């Protein structure tokens, strides 16, 4: 194999614009999530309310996922991204208005809370379109021979924005307040919308334009379930994310267990993503093509161990280290998953496959948030996190034993074949 260029995708202007747009969106979305989690727990003091936030997002995201994938595969991707971003700006504006002093002073706590839930619900609906649109657009911005490099940079950008948003979200709560932080999110989303139009419209590669929705959805689901590598990696990440969803109750740990305030809350959130960023940037230099499946299994196993360590820790810096390691392990698994999906998904099916990915993994974030909130309510936060980490370990061992296709997966030949293409 020829020596890989770690910056291959970054040499394409439109891909850089895309990365900037994605950074702004995820930075804003991450900060918004942190602020809303903090605000909801502050006014309710009920960990289950945090779980309900996740539930409100997963219901539309999961139920609309396949439909969204069909729409994405049938339409132009740049404009779809612009529409999604514009709609997201309205949600951000609504959340900002709900946290202003005038609304807090005149509305009841339940009215504010239910309104937040409603906007989160619409955000979940919107997210079902975001995922497949972004996934499909990446493949239209770079040549196939550098898909794996583009996947790494796209994922790295997502995580970099996530860490920045999580970190600044916690600090901004303290510095400028909840309402002004959400106003900043609105401004960032508007800015990302402007830059989206610097990307040219892209061709629609789907050869079956106008295909009946039922047949389209059936074809997408069938493809995923017949590809054991894709099915295996999605199943592994889904269950790991489902039971390892500590992020949803970090505000509980920050306020009630570790007692570190909003700044510490921001640091705890950021430590996860900082670990992810480190490993993802490393993978741009050290390819994951050899023994891909084993690396995936090992990374998720380490993730589970670190989650257990976090749950058992009562020392702030130990907790930070445990979350950092969990993020590092998660970063590797994310790069592997995105690389597998980019390499093994046909162009005309990217929207639908990404939607199935959203149903498996993306929705697990919110369902995991609900599971964590419910478990924390019943068992307490410490026991809930330890339980989640233990279930993750059991899942890794089980999938590794029953899915040899994933366990023995190696992408060397496939990546080499793509690099030989003109």
- Host domain of residue 86: 11-197+212-419
Highest mean pLDDT among 78-82, 107-111, 125-129, 142-146: 78-82
Number of domains in the chain: 1
SS3 letters across 203-234: CCCCCCCCCCHHHHHHHHHHHHHHCHHHHHHH
Chain segment 383-397, per-residue pLDDT in tens: 888 888 888 899 889
Let me know if residue 1 belongs to a domain: no
**CATH at residue 191:** 1.20.1250.20
pTM, full prediction: 0.75
Let me know if residue 3 belongs to a domain: no
Let me know if residue 2 belongs to a domain: no
146: left (phi over 0), alpha (psi -120 to 50) or beta: alpha
Let me know if residue 204 belongs to a domain: no
**Residue 394 CB partners (closer than 8 Å, separation 6+):** none
Chain segment 26-69, per-residue pLDDT in tens: 999 989 988 998 888 888 888 778 778 877 887 887 788 888 88
- How far apart CA 126 and CA 119 sit, in angstroms, is 10
pLDDT of residue 422: 46
Chain segment 151-199, per-residue pLDDT in tens: 888 888 887 887 788 778 878 888 888 999 999 999 999 999 999 999 9
pLDDT of residue 221: 80
* Direct distance between the N- and C-terminal alpha carbons of the chain, in angstroms, rounded to an integer: 15
Residue count of the chain, please give it. 422
Let me know if residue 206 belongs to a domain: no
Answer yes or no: is pLDDT of 83 > 80.
Answer: yes
């Amino acid at each position: 194999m020829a020596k890989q260029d770690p910056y291959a995708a970054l040499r394409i202007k439109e891909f850089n614009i895309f990365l900037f747009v994605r950074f702004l969106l995820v930075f804003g979305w991450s900060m918004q999530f942190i602020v809303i989690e903090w605000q909801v727990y502050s006014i309710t003091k009920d960990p289950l309310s945090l779980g309900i936030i996740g539930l409100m997002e997963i219901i539309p995201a999961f139920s609309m996922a396949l439909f969204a994938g069909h729409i994405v595969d049938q339409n132009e991707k740049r404009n779809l991204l612009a529409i999604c971003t514009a709609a997201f700006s309205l949600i951000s504006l609504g959340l900002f208005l709900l946290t202003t002093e005038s609304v807090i002073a005149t509305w009841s706590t339940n009215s504010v809370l239910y309104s937040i839930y409603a906007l989160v619900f619409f955000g979940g609906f919107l997210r079902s379109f975001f995922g497949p649109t972004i996934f499909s657009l990446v493949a239209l911005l770079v040549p196939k021979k550098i898909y794996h490099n583009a996947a790494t940079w796209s994922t790295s950008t997502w995580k970099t924005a996530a860490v920045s948003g999580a970190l600044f979200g916690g600090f901004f709560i303290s510095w400028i307040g909840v309402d002004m932080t959400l106003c900043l999110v609105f401004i960032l989303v508007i800015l990302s919308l402007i830059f989206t139009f610097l990307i040219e419209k892209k061709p629609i590669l789907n050869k079956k334009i106008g295909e009946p929705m039922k047949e389209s959805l059936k074809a997408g689901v069938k493809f995923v379930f017949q590809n054991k590598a894709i099915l295996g990696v999605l199943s592994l990440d889904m269950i790991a994310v489902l039971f390892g969803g500590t992020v949803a109750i970090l505000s509980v740990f920050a306020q009630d267990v570790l007692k570190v305030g909003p700044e510490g809350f921001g640091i705890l959130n950021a430590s996860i993503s900082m670990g992810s960023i480190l490993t993802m940037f490393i993978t741009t230099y050290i390819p994951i093509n050899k023994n891909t499946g084993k690396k995936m299994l090992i990374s998720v196993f380490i993730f589970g161990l670190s989650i257990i360590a976090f749950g058992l820790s009562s020392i702030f810096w130990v907790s930070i280290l445990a979350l950092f390691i969990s993020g590092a392990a998660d970063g590797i698994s994310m790069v592997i998953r995105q690389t597998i999906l980019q390499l093994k998904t046909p162009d005309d099916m990217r929207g639908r496959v990404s939607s199935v990915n959203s149903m498996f993994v993306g929705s697990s974030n919110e369902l995991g948030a609900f599971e964590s909130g419910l478990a924390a309510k019943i068992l307490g936060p410490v026991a809930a996190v330890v339980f989640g980490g233990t279930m993750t370990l059991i899942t890794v061992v089980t999938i590794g034993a029953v899915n040899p296709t994933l366990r023995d997966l190696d992408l060397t030949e496939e990546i080499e074949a793509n690099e030989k293409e003109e």
